[in-house]
Amino acid sequence: MYQLRGQRVEALSEEHIRRTAMSFCNFFGMKPTKGRNKRYDKSLEKLSSYGITINPVDDAEWSAALHGLISGHYDPQSATISVPEHIYLEACAGDRIALSVVLHEIGHMVLGHQPLMHFSSVPATENEDAEWQADAFAEHALKFLGYDSMQLSFEFY
Ligand SMILES: [Zn+2]
């Protein structure tokens, strides 16, 4: 039986998530580029034009708060993605791991994850797991952007 890692949400196919990730990258000008000078500042800044806030939190403040164990957070009420400042800066500079954290949180937002009371006698599947969906979104976006595939398991929400 599949063990949910996060909220149970409406099931999405991996193909749907892959297409959504590509549309997101295209829309926000995140293009696949070969070479080392990838910068994503502009794309991430553009999110604010659509009412989405990226909130880089001072690193010391982040680890002092409850957030010590998690790398990122998305609040659907305020459409705010919070990440430690170093993660934001490294993501702007194209660091794969930092980008995967930011894209995972963007995935929660773009895929419309909301806290959901969902009672069902049918066991959950991977495709209904908000965390699996957000990971799949980040992986497909990174693949589209030309990063090597890599399985990472982080504790982020
Ligand atoms: Zn998550």
The DSSP code for 128 is: G
| 42 CA to centre of ligand 1 in angstroms | 24
CB distance 83 to 72 below 8 Å: yes
Write down the domain spans for the chain. Answer: 14-144
Q: Looking at the chain, how many residues does it have?
A: 157
**Considering the chain, what percentage of its residues have pLDDT values greater than 70?**
86
| 79 CA to centre of ligand 1 in angstroms | 14
Residues having C-beta closer than 5 Å to ion ligand 1: 131, 134, 157
| 136 CA to centre of ligand 1 in angstroms | 11
In this structure, CATH architecture of domain 14-144: Orthogonal Bundle (1.10)
Number of H helices, E strands in the chain: 6, 3
Strand segments, DSSP code E, in the chain are 53-57, 73-75, 80-84
Using one digit for the tens of pLDDT, what is the confidence trace for 64-83? 876 666 789 999 889 999 99
Dihedral Cα 119, 122, 123, 125, nearest 10 deg:
-90
| 129 CA to centre of ligand 1 in angstroms | 10
The DSSP code for 9 is: -
CB distance 94 to 38 below 8 Å: yes
Whole-angstrom distance, CA of residue 118 vs CA of residue 50: 29
Using one digit for the tens of pLDDT, what is the confidence trace for 86-138? 999 999 999 999 999 999 999 999 999 876 555 667 888 999 999 999 999 99
CB distance 128 to 11 below 8 Å: yes
